[in-house]
Amino acid sequence: MPEDKSLTAARKTCTGCKRNYFANLSVCPNCGETNRDAFIGRTISERFLVENVIGEGGMGVVYKAWEDKTKQGVAVKILRPQFLEDELAVRRFKHEALATSRLSHPHIVALHDYGSTTDGYLFMVMEIIDGKSLAQVVRDKRQLAIARTVNVITQVCDALEHAHQSGVIHRDLKPGNIMLTQFAGEQDYVKLVDFGIAKLLHNDDEHDSGIEQKGEVLGSPLYMSPEQCLGRPLDGRSDVYSLGIVMYETLTGKVPHIGKTAHETIEWQIQKDPMSFKAKRPDLHIPELIESVVFKALAKDPAARQQSMKEFANELQEALAKSDDALDLRSSVGMSKISRTKSVESRKPNKMMAMVIALLVTLVLAGLALWKH
């Protein structure tokens, strides 16, 4: 039986009868009025001119807009009007803005402004990202090459190290929240997005209160750490586990745990060890050194994982550099900067050997010439 998405599909409010209907319809089924989006052509916060819709979700609409003075393109996210009376939705929207406002990092989406319009609509203005999510790329490619994966994941580590140092635990790491774009000629430039359910530290949980319902555990079961599944206190090592799952999926095209239900998936995250890469994808060859780093991140006990994102990134790059498959890795598309450096260094001994051999051949030929003479 096909899934009924009628309760979760994006909706909009008719400008005529004020009733809600599916956002993909251009004509209101209740009164027949053709509805033009009321925000298009409007100026938000007295300086962002809204141009068109670029994305829609269950609770919000994202528009492309232009900053009045700089003419810079930005993304404006607005909470749907039907959720303005929903206290939980409002708190989560404000929470995302607060969490993102704490951060300033080249690999984290930048927040330019947030607040409410004169007529009460909540908005966030963020940098606009032209690219694809890691989820889309993995879906298209089935899996990514090892060096390309390490390049992407180490950038995410860098972003999360900054977030953790700023007292922000992402808590919803997944390929869909990792955007890949181009910057200064570099492919796969990472932008980490969606801090809507981030955990804020150093505030006695003041700013986390009210964003979860009683008994609710926030997160995506496919990527949640065991302690997150159990509703226990979290620190940066929970994000380490989630990023380990993201890397597992990026390398193999498959998540380590997926049950028949969300509850079963959560049970497996808590109790079940993931399959080895070879067992999951016998058609692939992934070096043991890389696998050991990923499986360390997937340890059930946070104390057995890498204790920081910086440690995770360092171990990945060392494993890439030391791998016996270095020649194959160097030929991969999307090579990370460190692997390019290592490949140059690894070629130096070969050049020296070639020079030595050439010199020996020259001496031998000279000796033969003298002997014949």
Per-residue DSSP letters for 30-72?
TT--B---TTTTPEETTTEEEEEEEEE-SSEEEEEEEETTT--
Identify any residues that bridge with 116 across adjacent strands, giving them in sequence order: 122
Of the candidates 61, 54, 76, 49, the one whose C-alpha atom is nearest the C-alpha of residue 23 is 61
What the block records as the tokens of 169 is 């635990």
Contacts of 298 (CB under 8 A, 6+ apart): 241, 244, 245, 248, 256, 274, 305
Task: Say if residues 217 and 134 touch (Cβ distance below 8 Å).
Answer: no
The answer to whether residue 172 is catalytic is yes
Task: Say if residues 90 and 84 touch (Cβ distance below 8 Å).
Answer: yes
3-state secondary structure of 301: coil
Of 37, 130, 172, 273, which is the active-site residue?
172
Cα 344 to Cα 96, 318, 325, distances in angstroms:
43, 15, 15
- Which of the residues are catalytic? 172
